[in-house]
A and B are shown apart, each in its own frame.
Chain A
Amino acid sequence: MEAPVITAPAPVAPIVERCEALLNDLTFETVRQWKENHPGKKAIGWLPVWAPRELILAAGMLPVGVMGASDRLEIVKGDAYYQSYICHLPRSVLELGLNGSLDVLDGVLFPSTCDVIRNLSGMWRILFPQKYVRYVDVPQNPAMSLGGRFFAEDLRAIAAELGEVSGTPVTHESLRAAFAVCNANRRAVHDLYALRVAKPWCVPSAELYLLVRAGALLPVEEHTALIREYMQLAEASAAKPMDMARVTVRGCFCEQPPLDLIRTIERSGCWIMDDDWLIAWRWFKEDLPLEGDPFENMARVFVTDSPACPTMHLAHGVKGAALKAEIKNTGSEGVLFMAPSFCDPALLDQPMIQAAIEKAGIPWSALLYAENTGQFQVIREQAGTFADALKLS
């Protein structure tokens, strides 16, 4: 089909522009300004896939998502530390660190996403000895009495450390308050995705991406309000319904696709009904409970309500089933596997999930990208062909 030209409807344009400016803020000026406006306050970065930003918030600090630098940063120093067979994200993150952009952060949390991010935590400690660095080993044993308990203990330890960094100890009260703020934020992101599913023509994928991504730099409450404001305007927009192939995208949970790649897919005739980029912002479906021991609660929700992300060890059949359910819920017709080159978790998972959905008769296509991919010709053709095939079937 003819690729539609998607233009931002006028009312949301200022919001989208603001979000795009945030995406392009490679010097973390936004965070610098926040610190200027909040004298004495600190900021803590965190890497994909997921980190307990509630703890950072509860310690009175600004959580900052460090999601790489897309294709907009020339890598000189970052490449010096990585062989050609390692993915791109750690290069840009190191470049941001070594070029001083991340000086504004008072510490960084590195979650146990994969061996590369794990080792990056150690590299950070060596390269930036004056900064707080914490490796967050999320539980791979999902039993509450085992992984859950270990995680609750570790969250307590991290909270205590963050309290020391900020000078404001984390209390049960402050953590519950942070839960409430993040619950509202997750609900907003879930609602935004629901709107996208209901009326994809009102929420272009690139806009949705930009909005969620804005949460990397904005204070959580401000981010929530921005999403809500956007949704109001988008829902009221006069965008005409359009029929395109409906696909679910999987594989981009850590290294982020360049914005133009997202645009390319939509322009090739695919509505992206669901995706796993920036999945941290909707990691839990449930709210974190505001009663009881918040550390226990967070650990419990983590072991019971985390998504079927390739970074997690899951019971037999769960991954395929989860994707099939997602496909059904969002009315997708096929899956576009988009993994970053050299991404072990995504690429090792792919054949297993592909087999599961193939069994269910769900069509799929797979492509590779890197955060700095600058050429979309091939991707456009592949996504376009996939869209056509879906429409024909």
Chain B
Amino acid sequence: MNTTVMKDRSQERQKRMLADYFKRLAVSRENGWKNVYTFVPGNLTELILSFDLLPVLPEINALQSGMRKKSGAFIQEAEKAGHSEDVCAYVKSDLGMLRGGNIGPTGEPLPSPDLLLLSYTGCFTFMKWFEILREETGAPTLMLHVPFQGEGRVTREMRDYVIRQLKTEVIPALEKLSGKAYDESRLAEMLARSRAMEDDLVHVLESAKRKPSPIDGYFAAVYYIGPIFSAFRGTEDAQHYYRELREEVDARIAQGIGPMTPDGPMPPEKFRLVVEGPPAWTHFNELWRMFHAEGAVIVASTYTKVGGVYDDGFRHDPSDPLGTLADYCLGCYTNRSMQDRVNMIARYVKDYDADGFMINSVKSCNSFSAGQLLILREVERLTGRPGGFFESDLVDPRYFSAANIKNRVESYLQMLDQRRTGGASA
């Protein structure tokens, strides 16, 4: 029972943090608080917060719309306005929400953007997304071009380019918007906190190396990454959250308890899997159930690295604030080369001793999806463990075919079972 109480503590805190955050946004206009819209990968949360500006993350709003089953209507609204069925559903969900009065996930209105900080990191669509919001709202865009790690490494030139943009364009724009001067010591203070929470997050994620795993490293972990990937990195609240979460997970380990699911404690761990690709937000619990009901725990995932890859050693470095922000932006998962992604998944399969890996290929996101079938082949080749493949979408409910996905997941798990038992009871 103790664990339930402790589990509740971090969850409750996150809930409160989000409620406060959306409340602040709702009353930001009358209080004269300015906001900055930006994206999860390569987000400059500490920098934005150091100017007392409010970060708004349309991706998070879109995925929340998906989880609350509102995205379908939003998407149709955007398609009525001329947007193609073929393109990213996050964009369409966001646009539909904006056109419907920009009512956020908590039912409170979101302020329209004061600045669209276009951290162009690992996703081409980001660029178009903010161009569209610029058309809709008249807010200016501010481009932060983060070069892609096409060659599988970050060069000095790439890093300098990002730092120069921060110095000569991003910071002046934030100074102008906030009316405050850039305060590097304040930024450094926040980055130090980020560093601490990154340690805790990695501890939590890596706890899944244990058998049985105390956490689900995908479905549950998307809640764990919530604060650090969004508007809270570098805040005291988030620092507490991660400390609490770490303690809760440690307690679970001590008690030998497995992951908790929306349907209650997970059945005994039967399969350990790595997952590549984002979840299908519109059917999040349903998708999770297809795994946990069969005793399949996700021990590691790439999606939980989109807002920062911390488990390969990177930490924000308060002694070099702008340099560390540049490193952070350049290192996000979707900004990495295909080979890097292959290596990362293969490493997860080995390090977490997974039985195999599955790819959820989402229609919306070419950055993730284009090439996943080669990733599948390569990871199988490197690990000798089988991969599985299914398709869905981020927030377009029309692309979630439960029967179709269940069929693939079930077949995959039965295959693993059969391979394991060598057909003895196959």
Interface residues of chain A, those whose CB is within 8 Å of chain B, are: 80-83, 85-86, 90, 110, 112, 114-116, 118-123, 125-127, 134-135, 137, 139-141, 143, 145-147, 149-150, 153-154, 157, 310, 313-314, 316, 339, 341-345, 347-352, 354-355
B90 to chain A, nearest CB (A): 11
A118 (CB) vs chain B CBs: closest residue: B148
Q: Is the CB of A83 within 8 A of B391?
A: yes
Q: Is the CB of A347 within 8 A of B339?
A: no
* Contacting residue for A137 out of B148, B342, B363, B378, CB 8 A: B148
Q: Is the CB of B84 within 8 A of A122?
A: no
A81 (CB) vs chain B CBs: closest residue: B373
User: Considering the chains assembled together, what is the distance between the CA atoms of A85 and B86 in angstroms?
Assistant: 7
User: Which residues from B are CB-within-8-Å of A141?
Assistant: 143-145, 161, 165, 169
B384 within 8 A of A: no
User: Considering the chains assembled together, what is the distance between the CA atoms of A126 and B120 in angstroms?
Assistant: 25
Q: Is the CB of A344 within 8 A of B134?
A: no
Q: Is the CB of B124 within 8 A of A114?
A: yes
User: Which residues from A are CB-within-8-Å of B374?
Assistant: 81, 123, 126-127
A317 to chain B, nearest CB (A): 9
B88 (CB) vs chain A CBs: closest residue: A344
B107-151 Cβ-contact flags toward A at 8 Å (1 or 0):
000000000001010011101110110110000110111011011
B143-182 Cβ-contact flags toward A at 8 Å (1 or 0):
1110110110001011011001100110000000000000
A44 to chain B, nearest CB (A): 16
User: Considering the chains assembled together, what is the distance between the CA atoms of A228 and B178 in angstroms?
Assistant: 58
User: Considering the chains assembled together, what is the distance between the CA atoms of A116 and B124 in angstroms?
Assistant: 9
Q: Which of B123, B128, B141, B378 has the most CB of A within 10 A?
A: B128
**Given the interface contacts A134-B150, A140-B145, does A123 sit within 8 Å of B161 by beta carbon?**
no
User: Considering the chains assembled together, what is the distance between the CA atoms of A135 and B341 in angstroms?
Assistant: 16
User: Considering the chains assembled together, what is the distance between the CA atoms of A355 and B87 in angstroms?
Assistant: 18
A121 (CB) vs chain B CBs: closest residue: B150
Q: Is the CB of B87 within 8 A of A122?
A: no
A110 (CB) vs chain B CBs: closest residue: B150
* Contacting residue for B366 out of A86, A110, A125, A149, CB 8 A: A86
Chain A at the B interface: SS class = helix
B367 (CB) vs chain A CBs: closest residue: A115
User: Which residues from A are CB-within-8-Å of B168?
Assistant: 143, 145-146
B122 (CB) vs chain A CBs: closest residue: A115
User: Considering the chains assembled together, what is the distance between the CA atoms of A118 and B366 in angstroms?
Assistant: 10
B91 within 8 A of A: yes
* Contacting residue for A146 out of B91, B161, B363, B369, CB 8 A: B161
B27 within 8 A of A: no
**Given the interface contacts A114-B124, A141-B165, A352-B135, does A126 sit within 8 Å of B367 by beta carbon?**
no
A309 to chain B, nearest CB (A): 12
Q: Is the CB of B371 within 8 A of A119?
A: yes
User: Considering the chains assembled together, what is the distance between the CA atoms of A110 and B378 in angstroms?
Assistant: 21
Q: Can you list 30 A-B contacts with CB-CB less than 8 angstroms, sorted by A residue number?
A: A82-B370, A83-B361, A83-B391, A110-B150, A115-B123, A118-B150, A119-B338, A120-B370, A122-B338, A125-B337, A126-B338, A126-B374, A137-B150, A141-B143, A141-B144, A141-B169, A145-B164, A150-B145, A150-B160, A313-B120, A313-B131, A313-B141, A313-B145, A314-B131, A339-B84, A344-B87, A344-B128, A345-B128, A348-B91, A352-B131
A311 (CB) vs chain B CBs: closest residue: B124
User: Considering the chains assembled together, what is the distance between the CA atoms of A147 and B165 in angstroms?
Assistant: 9
* Contacting residue for B84 out of A116, A314, A347, A352, CB 8 A: A347
User: Considering the chains assembled together, what is the distance between the CA atoms of A147 and B366 in angstroms?
Assistant: 25
B83 within 8 A of A: yes
B82 within 8 A of A: yes
Q: Is the CB of B150 within 8 A of A140?
A: no
User: Which residues from B are CB-within-8-Å of A354?
Assistant: 82
B83 to chain A, nearest CB (A): 6
6 A-B pairs with the lowest CB-CB distances in the bound complex, closest first: A122-B338, A135-B150, A348-B128, A150-B161, A351-B82, A119-B371
* Contacting residue for B120 out of A80, A121, A140, A355, CB 8 A: A140
Q: Is the CB of B367 within 8 A of A83?
A: no
User: Which residues from B are CB-within-8-Å of A114?
Assistant: 124, 366
User: Considering the chains assembled together, what is the distance between the CA atoms of A143 and B173 in angstroms?
Assistant: 15
User: Which residues from A are CB-within-8-Å of B402?
Assistant: none
User: Considering the chains assembled together, what is the distance between the CA atoms of A355 and B83 in angstroms?
Assistant: 12
User: Which residues from B are CB-within-8-Å of A119?
Assistant: 338, 366-367, 370-371
User: Considering the chains assembled together, what is the distance between the CA atoms of A339 and B150 in angstroms?
Assistant: 27
User: Which residues from B are CB-within-8-Å of A123?
Assistant: 338, 371, 374
Q: Which of B160, B342, B361, B374 has the most CB of A within 10 A?
A: B374
User: Which residues from A are CB-within-8-Å of B140?
Assistant: 316
> Given contacts A119-B366, A157-B157, could you give 18 more A-B pairs where the C-beta distance is less than 8 Å?
A81-B373, A115-B124, A118-B150, A120-B371, A126-B378, A135-B150, A141-B165, A143-B169, A146-B161, A154-B157, A313-B118, A316-B134, A344-B124, A347-B83, A347-B84, A348-B91, A351-B83, A355-B135
B82 (CB) vs chain A CBs: closest residue: A351
Q: Is the CB of A116 within 8 A of B370?
A: yes
B154 to chain A, nearest CB (A): 12
A141 (CB) vs chain B CBs: closest residue: B145
Q: B residues 10-51 with Cβ under 8 Å of A?
A: none
User: Considering the chains assembled together, what is the distance between the CA atoms of A151 and B282 in angstroms?
Assistant: 41
Q: Which of A80, A116, A348 has the most CB of B within 10 A?
A: A348
B151 (CB) vs chain A CBs: closest residue: A135
B81 within 8 A of A: yes
* Contacting residue for A126 out of B84, B151, B342, B370, CB 8 A: B342
* Contacting residue for B148 out of A135, A345, A349, CB 8 A: A135
Q: Is the CB of A83 within 8 A of B131?
A: no
B87 to chain A, nearest CB (A): 5
User: Considering the chains assembled together, what is the distance between the CA atoms of A345 and B357 in angstroms?
Assistant: 31
User: Which residues from A are CB-within-8-Å of B83?
Assistant: 347-348, 351
User: Which residues from B are CB-within-8-Å of A147?
Assistant: 145, 161
User: Which residues from A are CB-within-8-Å of B337?
Assistant: 122, 125
User: Which residues from B are CB-within-8-Å of A112?
Assistant: 124, 148
A80 (CB) vs chain B CBs: closest residue: B373
Q: Is the CB of A90 within 8 A of B370?
A: yes
User: Which residues from B are CB-within-8-Å of A90?
Assistant: 370
User: Which residues from A are CB-within-8-Å of B342?
Assistant: 126
